[in-house]
Amino acid sequence: MNTVHTITQLRAAVARARQEGKRIGLVPTMGNLHDGHLALVQKALQSTDYVVVSIFVNPLQFGPSEDLDSYPRTLAADQSKLLDVGANLVFAPTPKEMYPDGMDGHTRISVPLVSEGLCGASRPGHFEGVATVVSKLLNMTQPDLAVFGKKDYQQLAVIRKMAQDLCMPVQIMGEAIVRDADGLALSSRNGFLTADQRQIAPRLYQVLVQIAEQIQGGRRDYPAVLDGARQHLIDAGMRPDYLELRDSVTLNPVGADSKQLIVLAAAFLGTTRLIDNLGFELN
């Protein structure tokens, strides 16, 4: 496994792989890799012959009061994990390589509607930063397949819409959430939790399961179900950011014809913002 730091090196390595007739996969990450990330790499390896993993903490998607400076940067450990799992190439650029003229005047991509509400409401400009950096990575690598985790469900929807609208010749694949034994969705930010907070954190997923069970059991008073669930989170010591029920296909509010639903949540536990979601079918 090789590691490159420039776009020129990345393109040269991918070109060699293509000349050998290989199908290219891409897994964009911000590093500090855990088993959830590695599951994405393994999914890409199942469907392609040459997998590129990008490691880049993208400043364009962080707000002024967010944790850009404290976000863990663990390249050496990440390289070791990726070598073990069988990745072919690591692309670890600097901000200067990605934004050579700075970010203020850089072209940005906005994906309307699907990026609004949920995390888009809580983190203004976040999805513009995500769409911009992912479009750059797709253009640099030109993969046949790119794999993203479903934990960031709205992000996945934004990227799919962007690729579709801009006619990008790439298959966007979503991979299931990987959880710890107690149900907590794996996240790099889990490392910010104290020992006591880590014991509380699984409550977020438990509440999502309870919501799904109530609705599948016949309850249709969705606002009341969600209000009760918010109170459970508050009682557990969390500060809900949002807790919403959407159509999992369109990400629109649930309509009369919606059969595939998803409940999405974000909540603060101390200073750590956790996100999670759970999809389910109406009976």
Task: Write down the catalytic residue from 34, 37, 126, 232.
Answer: 37
3-state secondary structure 222-256: HHHHHHHHHHHHHHCCCEEEEEEEEECCCCCECCC
Please give the Cα distance from 134 to 146 (Å, whole number): 10
CA 70 to mean position of chain CA atoms: 19
CA 10 to mean position of chain CA atoms: 23
Residue 182 backbone dihedrals phi, psi, to 5 degrees: -90, 5
37 is catalytic: yes
Please give the Cα distance from 44 to 55 (Å, whole number): 16
b/e map 217-242, b = 16+ CB within 10 Å: eeeeebeebbeebbebbeebebebbb
Catalytic residue numbers read 37
